[in-house]
Amino acid sequence: MKNTVFKGVATAIVTPLTKDGVDYESYGKLIDWQIAEGVNAIVAAGTTGEGSTLTDEEHREVISYTVKRVAGRVPVIAGTGSNDTDYAVELTKHACEAGADAMLVVSPYYNKATQKGLIASFTKIADNCTKPIILYNVPSRTGCNILPATAATLADHPMIVGMKEASGNLSQIAELLHLVGDRMDVYSGNDDQIIPIMALGGKGVISVLSNVLPKKTAEMCDKFFAGDIAGAAKMQLDYIPLISALFSEVNPIPVKAAMAAMGFCEDYLRLPLTSMEDANREKLLALMRKEGLKV
């Protein structure tokens, strides 16, 4: 069995931005709040952190800053994937040197790859990495599905220890868990499937919801691990409307609006992302108020 990077909830944290760049003062406060609320890990510069529109310098700085600010309180997982394997290798090397505890590496997007290409690309990145790697399967964004058999092959690599599964296909995820056994931890990449995936043997979630409700998302996972399956399932179902609102437009548009309403950052996104539509925003804020959040 390989070492588990985290168990429970890792927040795919937003990156506070302004027209002048990364707002590190707000980012530091957000990190501290997330940890105080009980999350089990922080994912920096992922999809929710707008890693795809950070400059190379910003991307590296965000990873380095996150490691320093977290200061060992929870694991830091750095988003270092790219559709350019060589760039992913260089970014991964930086994150290792900066002290990140693990990498989150998405499958190549736009140019995509065959399953053979996925194995070659992920293997090259892993061969150049001194920290554990969690693969990220999100075919709705990448147009490229990491098949269970491919993941099972990659699980033989000593540095590849996990998979964030956001395919939404529970049958595929069940097959994945069957094939990899204890060679690879599997995490839900969709907040509406946290408990179903954990019921199949998943170790937790890399979450958008936990930006807004870190304590409650952690509590949901804790209930499940403590054997209160019914209680965990009830929380999962109770949060379905809020989760749906957080994905009513392309992530991270809604969660950035939510965090701005909570006072953690500006509602500022980089093109091609634009601010949330007013009607969707009102629905989101109403659901947040229902959860007792002051927005």
Catalytic residues: 136, 164
Q: Is there a cis peptide before residue 132, judged by omega within 30 degrees of 0?
A: no
Burial classification of residue 226, based on how many CB atoms lie within 10 Å of its CB (0-12 exposed, 13-18 middle, 19 or more buried): exposed
| 3-state SS track over 168-184 | CCHHHHHHHHHHHHHHC
Helix, strand, or coil here: 11?
strand
Do the Cβ atoms of 103 and 134 come closer than 8 Å? yes
Contacts of residue 43, defined as CB under 8 A and 6 or more positions apart, other chains included, come to 10, 11, 12, 13, 49, 77, 78, 79, 104, 206
Do the Cβ atoms of 209 and 238 come closer than 8 Å? no
